[in-house]
Structure 1
Amino acid sequence: MKRVAHEPAYVLHHYDWSESSVIVEAFTRAHGRVALVAKGAKRPSSNFRPVLLPLQPLSLSWGGDAEIRTLKSAEWGGGQVMPTGEALLSGYYANELLLRLLAREDAHPRLFDAYAALVQVLASEHAEPLVAAALRAFELLLLRETGHLPALDAQTLTFAPLAAEASYRLVAEGGLRAAHDEDDSWLMGSHWQALAAAMDDAAPFLATLHAVAGLPADARTRLRQQLRALLHYHCGVGTLRTRQLMMDLQSLS
């Protein structure tokens, strides 16, 4: 029986398994996304009940060699409060992306660190001005870690280097290519080069967040549009559930 002890983790989602138990989809640093059964977690007296919350740093221990392992213990890692409002919805959005794009038990420690940094931003008292840039940084790093992001310092089909003052568009089927006159969503070559350099930094999430935040407002909007199209393409959906929820709530306000 394989046993794992005190593994850094976050809960992405959980769903009912039986009258008293739940299946937890967790994102762990050394083991990637894992499915764990938390026996008795729905009982009022369960030690799991107050701990297995999303967007909270946890330390998990589990055992077993089946596809769904048995959760043995869960401890809160401390250090931050639960995000609220739009920051909470943004966290659920990041969780949905991880559930859709990560295969089970495929470790991505650098992506885990980027996710942990994103959660810290979302939980911050001063999160609002940074949330959009933090999400773009996380989306870029997630796409690169899962092999869905082409190199951003050269044209995908020709490998020709980017011209700083020329316009380029990120296309799901064709990678990064020169923008056409009819394209309404593109970035300057210098912008793509800055993002590529930031992702190669020793602290990629923070560097990419600053690179995104440093873009002109219209360029940030066009980056969001291009990344959204690329994510929807690889997730195989027209609109993510959390994005639809955000739009529904905005329409009510």
Structure 2
Amino acid sequence: MATGHRVSHVPAYVLHRYDWSESSLILEVFTRHHGRIALVAKGAKRPSSNFRPVLLPLQPLLLNYGGDAEIRALKGAEWVGGHVMPTGESLLSGLYVNELLLRLLARDDAHESLFDSYAGVVEVLAGEHAGAQAATQAAALRAFELLLLREVGLLPALDAQTMTLSSLAPELRYTLVSEAGLRQAEAQDAALTGAEWQALQAALDDHTPFTATLRCIATLNVGSNAALRSQLRVLLNYHCGVSTLRTRQMMRDLQAL
């Protein structure tokens, strides 16, 4: 809800926070109704601040803020509750999702459906038995990657070859290429069958796209899951303009210890 330049009780998540002064923070925030915005939280680092225990990543919040400058002023923040912060590898996966949003979303551009998908993936990552849900968490990450790429216009239709617009043959193998979209695979390519790509497109078009896409990916065999993961990683790195995302490299470094 907005009144003039004051916005009240907007659902949001903190994506990242930076030191602004000895006592204050700059926040990158993903809101449901206004997209990605920047806020200054004055005095948030003081031990007595009401902001201090609330402004954490991967936590559902209701925010009040105001101003018409590029960086608005945070006026209030309330934890909605529902789940605790993910830990361990689940936390790193959540920070990876945050990095994708920071790199691919423009500021002040609303993405309400994507916000709901983000809330869904955070809920999966915060599950009580995270270790036992590794496959579900991986499927949730792939689902969100697909939905994010589609939301920002970087994912081609998955039920036709991109260059020719010809239909996919269910039994043939196809690969997703950064500059050419979906095309028939060569022997060495990581690929999915036409039927698998078509099922993914149908799931993305569902009225509950995150849940439907997660379930679709969970039905893929190990080889197809690995192929989808590698293709999406290449595509995301390409559009983010990096060889490896920072959080991915952090995961690798920790796994190597």
Superposition TM-score tier, normalisation by shorter sequence: over 0.9
**Paired position in structure 2 for 1:32:** 35
**Paired position in structure 1 for 2:231:** 226
**Paired position in structure 1 for 2:250:** 245
Q: Distance in 1 between matches of 2:223 and 2:188?
A: 17
Question: Is 1:198 paired with 2:203?
Answer: yes
Task: Give the CA deviation at 1:181.
Answer: 2.6
The structure 2 residue matched to 1:104, chosen from 107, 113, 123, is 107
Q: Could you list the per-position Cα deviations for residues 27-76 of structure 1 after superposition, in whole angstroms to 9, with x for gaps in the alignment?
A: 00000000000000011101110000000000001000000000000000
Task: Give the CA deviation at 1:112.
Answer: 0.2
Give the letter aligned to residue 161 of structure 2. Answer: Q
Question: Is 1:66 paired with 2:69?
Answer: yes
Question: Is 1:6 paired with 2:12?
Answer: no
The structure 2 residue matched to 1:151, chosen from 121, 136, 157, is 157
Aligned positions of 1:129-208 closer than 5 A:
129=134, 130-183=136-189, 185-208=190-213
Task: Give the CA deviation at 1:182.
Answer: 3.3
Give the letter aligned to residue 192 of structure 2. Answer: L
**Paired position in structure 2 for 1:83:** 86
> What SS does the aligned partner of 1:206 have?
helix
Task: Give the CA deviation at 1:164.
Answer: 0.2
The structure 2 residue matched to 1:216, chosen from 210, 218, 221, is 221
Identity of aligned residues (%): 70
**Paired position in structure 2 for 1:122:** 125
Task: Give the CA deviation at 1:3.
Answer: 1.0
> What SS does the aligned partner of 1:20 have?
coil
> What SS does the aligned partner of 1:161 have?
coil
Unaligned 5+ segments in structure 1 are none
Q: Distance in 2 between matches of 1:79 and 1:251?
A: 34
Q: Distance in 1 between matches of 2:50 and 2:128?
A: 29
Q: Indicate the RMSD between aligned Cα atoms, in angstroms.
A: 0.8
Q: Could you list the per-position Cα deviations for residues 114-142 of structure 1 after superposition, in whole angstroms to 9, with x for gaps in the alignment?
A: 00000110111133331110100000000
Unaligned 5+ segments in structure 2 are none
The structure 1 residue matched to 2:53, chosen from 50, 54, 57, is 50
Give the letter aligned to residue 73 of structure 1. Answer: G
Give the letter aligned to residue 146 of structure 2. Answer: L
> What SS does the aligned partner of 2:146 have?
helix
The TM-score, its normalising length taken from structure 1, stands at: 0.98
Aligned length in residues: 251
Q: Distance in 1 between matches of 2:230 and 2:188?
A: 15
Q: Could you list the per-position Cα deviations for residues 67-109 of structure 1 after superposition, in whole angstroms to 9, with x for gaps in the alignment?
A: 0000000000111111111111100000000000000011100
Question: Is 1:23 paired with 2:26?
Answer: yes
Q: Distance in 2 between matches of 1:201 and 1:5?
A: 31
